[in-house]
Structure 1
């Protein structure tokens, strides 16, 4: 069984509170003079390249990348036993259903229980990763607000910072979009465009069987769990 006390995998929080927000605004004001051309171009509708972002923003992005990667590795470490068991039982499920063509509902139910435990832990992990991203984006907004106001005060831009303008805004990458990818570590760390539907692994096939097995009375499960 999963140790529920260990689901809440923690990393050091960015803590976008008053102190961190004030620090972000300090950096924005301090950097404003060197960002004058950058902000003037933005006011005219320009979109900056990532490699042109100021060090403070790049540092936040690097920290979020590091901390979300840490969440992944801690999830795998904290639930290693459950992970290994699911890998092994996936082979049994595929053998039973595909090779022998002999459905085993009780065994599949036990497998589903373990997969459900893992999906719960992965959902918490993804939620924590999203929280890290949200807190970092709050600090990014504070930084640009301060830089914009200082540049506006000096007469180089007009009006308030456009709310949709947030250079360096962070988003979770596509590998966080599907909970079951956490059971397929190669896919979880795969580059964009990796073939989801062509995955030949026993785990991918067993998950498909689990989510699409016909239920009593006809019909099939939705397959929406973590998909």
Structure 2
């Protein structure tokens, strides 16, 4: 049976033992590795995890632009602080469903990123690596949709479509989509739980309906490519970059 990028557990990137969740490292290795968090583990191009991430990134690239087939220049596993992981696991356990999904996210990169986690207050990429996701308020981040906030309100937006995340990364950093440059895309581990399907945008929404943990909007009237929406900051953690 073919492996599912979105939901199948893989082996630990440090010791190669099987991992029961979507974590990049096993529980034993995490106890040691997280002492140096926040940080990054560069993966060898021939490693199974690098190849899985690269293959899905290229497979899910759906936008038809001048960059029809991007080049993956590197894959790094993200080491987040233990307190960030504990908050995520707490949210996942308390959800209507423990389901979690690997999804893409693009954000602001103020430091240009040279392999080190910066402390610049405007660098959302490094902030996510160091502290986990924090969804912005309309007063503190520029809207992307003609003066309205994002399609389903202030939330964490992720997608299974790599080029959609790259599009947002370009918008957040002030570049046209087709411009050639190195982009930094996060593969996030998202506690999607029980998902509510919505087809029409609702920019004033503040949470999923009762009995649901997150929102999924399939392609159609509001979006061209699937979006996932999570309203709890701790419902997502960075997994790879």
Specify if TM > 0.5.
no
Q: TM-score, normalised by structure 2?
A: 0.25
Q: TM-score, normalised by structure 1?
A: 0.26
- Between Structure 1 and Structure 2, the one with more strand by share is 2
- Between Structure 1 and Structure 2, the one with more helix by share is 1
Bigger relative contact order, structure 1 or 2, given CA contacts below 8 A and separation 6+? Answer: 1
